[in-house]
Amino acid sequence: MKQLYVIKIGGNVIDDSEKLHQFLESFTALEGDKILVHGGGKTATTLSDELGVEAKLIDGRRITDIETLRIVTMVYAGLINKNIVAQLQQRNCNVIGLTGADGDMIRASKRPVKELDYGFVGDLHETSVNTDMLNKLIHAGLVPVFSAITHDGAGQLLNTNADTIASALAVSLSSLYKTSLIYCFEKKGVLGNAEDELSIIKKMKPNEFEILKKEGIITGGMIPKLHHAFEAIKNGVHEVYIGRADELGNIRHNTFGTRLIQNYDA
Amino acid sequence: MKQLYVIKIGGNVIDDSEKLHQFLESFTALEGDKILVHGGGKTATTLSDELGVEAKLIDGRRITDIETLRIVTMVYAGLINKNIVAQLQQRNCNVIGLTGADGDMIRASKRPVKELDYGFVGDLHETSVNTDMLNKLIHAGLVPVFSAITHDGAGQLLNTNADTIASALAVSLSSLYKTSLIYCFEKKGVLGNAEDELSIIKKMKPNEFEILKKEGIITGGMIPKLHHAFEAIKNGVHEVYIGRADELGNIRHNTFGTRLIQNYDA
């Protein structure tokens, strides 16, 4: 099977033009088929502030009301997506910017209202990704760049978690490619010691994750992140990397961030 | 040769949800390959006002400064494009929203500064359209929906006239398709009598245009519009229609708006 990289970047890269430049260079240089998924960063918050639209938070969770949906559609699918596309085109990387609505690539369901109404937020399910159409674009020589907007097939755009989109794309394309899912975040990898930025765990299997969790070495927001990563592996993804965007170039030397795998034999 | 329609809609359709609905129904029903090009409408002006960004006009010409480019990228490529895409997906029309930067589909040059600096405005030239890649998308079963944003290949997005984009697409695809270029505007067609909305000229050849111009029957903004339309025909487009978006359905009965052709035999 051919190699495919699905790479997710977030606000810490997008908001910093030097880091973004560095990342786009590494992304362009990465050989093989690839897909980029980007979050939004602070630009949406800045625009909300400029427009006097208050961020709606309930119990600390962000709510996507109709005004916020309008803003993220403009910022994620318009401003950020198209600027990344233009900057990658400049590097002769033939990207195509997409939301889940384009080509019906990712169809989501509006999150059901239970205790909390998240508003126009999309949840993905097993058949959300249009694998065939996505593969046609890749075969045409195009590199898809997804913003974190999907649709419900009934005319409604939906704000959708970028990590979840990256994972769903990688899982779905595992039927056709040997997929590597790469999450870029602010640290060089998963740390074995929170106090030491250099204590990067190089490799991790599911049972090791369980041990590190029990021992209190992996804590907080890293637990669900790794849990979802191992879920992706269980569902067909070959490997998941977690590391810092500016070090992406190291992936060919197998020295990028933390590598999650099913077995060391793999 | 297969038939291909390139249809351009402007603000008068986009700003009116009932008219837009009507148009999207007709667009979906239109058989054969097709491409939609949309302008911006009042949403960009509304957002500019909300953000306190003043429209820059010099000698009555709109200038795209960096702030305005940011706004049109958000509104045209984000808000309007993605909402049209989602609404066409709802109708099972498998559209894909694009700017000229996506897939390097339309490469423009920043308009040179002469008496006037138009700012980040793109001009098209003969080789602007990436015909091969566009044709690959159409062959994949996708219907391209272009917003009026292009790029220069050097990382810069450019605001570009939507009429010009539609014409360039139709001309370029004439090598592969029998192309019909359709301009939707606020009237039912070119009028033989400005006072009479029903005095639609059904058909027009270049020599007839010259006569109507000399006789003062066709005046004002309609002159350059028709001039450009006949240029497109000279460059390979089979026919150009000018009419009202909500009447698009009539095109199959040959009763839509004004039809411009090279010869009546054609």
- Dump pLDDT digits (tens) for A219-228: 998 999 999 9
d(CA B106, CA A81): 17
Does ipTM top 0.90?
yes
pLDDT confidence of residue A126:
94
- Contact (Cβ atoms closer than 8 angstroms) between residue B180 and residue B1: no
A89 and B153 in contact by Cβ < 8 A?
Answer: yes
d(CA B200, CA B243): 9
Work out whether the CA dihedral A154, A157, A163, A166 comes out positive or negative: positive
Q: Which of A36, A83, A92, A102 to mutate to test the interface with B (most CBs of B within 10 A)?
A: A102
B61/chain A closest Cα distance in angstroms: 24
**DSSP state, B13?**
H
- Contact (Cβ atoms closer than 8 angstroms) between residue B163 and residue B126: no
Q: Cβ atoms within 10 A of the Cβ of B29, count?
A: 12
Q: What is the dihedral of CA B219, B221, B227, B230, to 10 degrees?
A: -100
Pick the closest to residue A149 from A105, A95, A112 (CA basis). Answer: A105
Instruction: Give residues 27 to 66 of B whose Cβ lies within 8 Å of A.
Output: 47, 50-51
Does any CB of chain B come closer than 8 Å to the CB of residue A136? Answer: yes
pLDDT confidence of residue B264:
62
For residue B103, the chain A residue with the least C-alpha distance is A96
B136 and A140 in contact by Cβ < 8 A?
Answer: yes
Longest dimension (CA), chain B: 54
Identify the bridge partners of residue A2 per DSSP, sorted by sequence position: A177
A149 and B73 in contact by Cβ < 8 A?
Answer: no
d(CA B67, CA A42): 18
| Phi, psi of A162, deg, nearest 5 | -70, -35
Pick the closest to residue A41 from A180, A184, A169 (CA basis). Answer: A184
B103 and A90 in contact by Cβ < 8 A?
Answer: no
Identify the segments of chain B with pLDDT beneath 70.
264-266
What tens-digit pLDDT sequence spans chain A (266 residues)? 999 999 999 999 999 999 999 999 999 999 999 999 998 879 999 999 999 998 888 877 789 999 999 999 999 999 999 999 999 999 999 999 999 999 999 999 999 999 899 999 999 999 999 999 999 999 999 999 999 999 999 999 999 999 999 999 999 999 999 999 999 999 999 999 988 989 999 999 999 999 999 999 999 989 999 999 999 999 999 999 999 999 999 998 889 999 999 976 54
pTM above 0.90, yes or no: yes
Pick the closest to residue B97 from B153, B151, B137 (CA basis). Answer: B137
- Which tens digits make up the pLDDT trace of A185-204? 999 999 999 889 899 999 99
- CA-to-CA separations, B149 to B48, B109, B135, B214, in angstroms, rounded: 17, 12, 19, 36
**DSSP state, A101?**
T
pLDDT confidence of residue A15:
94
- Contact (Cβ atoms closer than 8 angstroms) between residue B24 and residue B84: yes
- Contact (Cβ atoms closer than 8 angstroms) between residue A229 and residue A260: yes
Work out whether the CA dihedral B223, B227, B233, B236 comes out positive or negative: negative
State the DSSP H helix or E strand holding residue A145, giving kind and residue range, or none if neither. Answer: strand A143-147
Give me the long-range contacts of A15-24 (CB less than 8 A, separation at least 24): A15/A41, A15/A42, A15/A43, A19/A245, A19/A246, A20/A84, A20/A87, A21/A87, A22/A245, A22/A246, A23/A184, A23/A245, A23/A246, A23/A248, A24/A84, A24/A87, A24/A88, A24/A91, A24/A93
Amino acid at B64: T
Q: Cβ atoms within 10 A of the Cβ of B238, count?
A: 19
- Joined together, the tokens standing for residue A1 give 């099977």
pLDDT confidence of residue A266:
45
Residue position matching structure tokens 């602070």: A42
- Contact (Cβ atoms closer than 8 angstroms) between residue B244 and residue B185: yes
- Contact (Cβ atoms closer than 8 angstroms) between residue B213 and residue B38: no
Instruction: Give residues 140 to 159 of B whose Cβ lies within 8 Å of A.
Output: 140-142, 149, 151, 153-157
